[in-house]
Amino acid sequence: MTRTLTILGATGSVGRSTVEVVLAHPDAFRIVSVVGGRDADALARVARQLGAQFAALADEQGGAALREALSGSGIASGAGAIAVLEAVERDADIVLAAISGTAGLGPTAAALRPGRTLALANKESLVCAGAAFMRESRRLGVRLMPVDSEHNALEQALSAGQNRDVEKAIITATGGPFRTWTRERIAAASPAEAAAHPVWSMGSKINIDSATLMNKGLELIEAHHLFDLEPDRLDVLVHPEAIFHGLVQWRDGALTAGLALPDMKVPIANALRGEDRLAMDLPRLDLAAIGRLTFDRADDMRFPCLALARAALRDGGAMPTILNAANEIAVAAFMEGRIGFYEISELVEGVCSTFAGRALTAPATVADALALDREARGLSRQSLSAR
């Protein structure tokens, strides 16, 4: 059965892997819309490859370049926020939401439509507006399929039992490029060193978040909303080989785990599946050939961003939204060479502390989340300027 698919963030790392999955199953999907950021030529190539009906570029200034790149293809196009929403609103069975950052929050929320499957790779939807997002998805009867390898593994592992029987749900972290470094050496790390992820090929911002372990903290917040699990039933395990992605410890002592080679096409194929799994021509996991696997506890002393994210998750309310906004400003400053590695966590902690006394409730809508995000970013920039 052919299903219709829209890809938001089609030119990013997750989007490119999705294109590969789709091209491997030409009879399984018909592409309705593809959405990109600023690269008109890259989006046009994807649209032509997939035979999309419509292509939308978020950058309004790139509209003419996109039209030219699609000339003669018969593919309609548009640019700017309205065009992106048009892409989202076109009828599709599945929307894969992979626009990164808060820029993806609005389009991802707009993709919530009755009967749809939403393959979710935009973590800000759950970190910044998790309660509102999950409430709306349940109201509309949307089938949510997580795309992150960790949450996709947990989604499969959790099917082995009931939520009430879960003692602990665990996501894994490679430990990033600084897993074995001392705190003193980490303190002097350059942006290039922090961005050199040992396993996954991702954007620079996510690579930095992986180096600070903030990415794992944000994933704990996502897991809390996706699987309705309290903070004390969520944990992180450092596993540099990235073979185990998610594990569930049951109250009877059993452990269920999701394993796969570190290739994003595996969780994407699972998130896009119908009743049957998609056959993928990928290398198979050979545990005998690997021989040994390594596990360790996460170190909050060397990676304080993880501790800050855990605290935001426990505090709840608006704190995850504030944490995410402050982190984005801090990471950008680090990448520009304006602050050092450990100043990322210092800035985030300072901004969160400033908001802590206000007892803000969780954003009730995406608009509320974006307004709070703007306020937290403004305060973060002020804090940065004062350094």
pLDDT at 137 over 70: yes
Upper half-sphere CA count for residue 189 (Cβ side, 13 Å): 27
Q: In what order do the strands lie in the sheet with 94-97?
A: 76-79, 54-57, 29-36, 3-8, 94-97, 117-120, 143-146
Identify the band that residue 288 occupies on the pLDDT scale cut at 50, 70 and 90.
Answer: very high
Q: Mean pLDDT over residues 197-224, rounded?
A: 90
Provide the pLDDT confidence category of residue 358 given band limits of 50, 70 and 90: confident
The vertex-170 CA angle with 108 and 314, nearest 5°, equals: 70
| Residue-wise pLDDT tens digits, 297-345 | 999 999 999 999 999 999 999 999 999 999 999 999 999 999 999 999 9
Tens digits of residue pLDDT in 25-64: 999 999 999 999 999 999 999 999 999 999 999 999 999 9
Res 202: pLDDT: 67
CATH number for 62: 3.40.50.720
Is 23 within a domain?
Answer: yes
pLDDT at 166 over 90: yes
Q: What's the Cα-to-Cα distance from 63 to each of 66, 193, 216, rounded to whole Å?
A: 5, 36, 36
Query: In the prediction, which pLDDT does 298 show?
Result: 96
Q: What share of the chain is helix, strand, coil (3-state, %, to 5)?
A: 50, 15, 35
Q: Domain count of the chain?
A: 1
Residues 177-196 have pLDDT tens digits of 999 999 999 999 999 999 98
pLDDT of 198 reads 79
pLDDT score of 282: 96
Q: How would you class 94 by CB atoms within 10 Å of its CB: exposed for 0-12, middle for 13-18, buried for 19 or more?
A: buried
Mean pLDDT of 269-289: 95
Instruction: Determine the pLDDT at residue 133.
Output: 96
Q: Is residue 60 part of a domain?
A: yes
Query: How confident is the prediction for the chain on average, in pLDDT?
Result: 95
> Strand pairing partners for 237?
172, 297
Residue 135 lies in a domain: yes
Cα–Cα distance between 269 and 246 in angstroms, integer? 17
Q: Which long-range contacts (CB under 8 A, 24 or more apart) does 359-364 make?
A: 359/317, 360/317, 360/318, 360/319, 360/322, 361/317, 361/318, 362/130, 362/131, 362/132, 362/316, 362/317, 362/318, 362/321, 363/128, 363/129, 363/131, 363/132, 363/318, 363/321, 364/132
Question: In the chain, what percentage of residues exceed pLDDT 70?
Answer: 99
Is 78 domain-assigned?
A: yes
Contact (CB, 8 A) for 238 and 175: yes
CA atoms within 13 A on the CB side of 318: 27
pLDDT at 151 (0 to 100): 98
Domain that holds residue 70: 3-146
Query: Quick check: is 74 in a domain?
Result: yes
Determine, yes or no, domain membership for 256: no
Summarised one tens digit per residue, pLDDT across range 56-100 is: 999 999 999 999 999 999 999 999 999 999 999 999 999 999 998
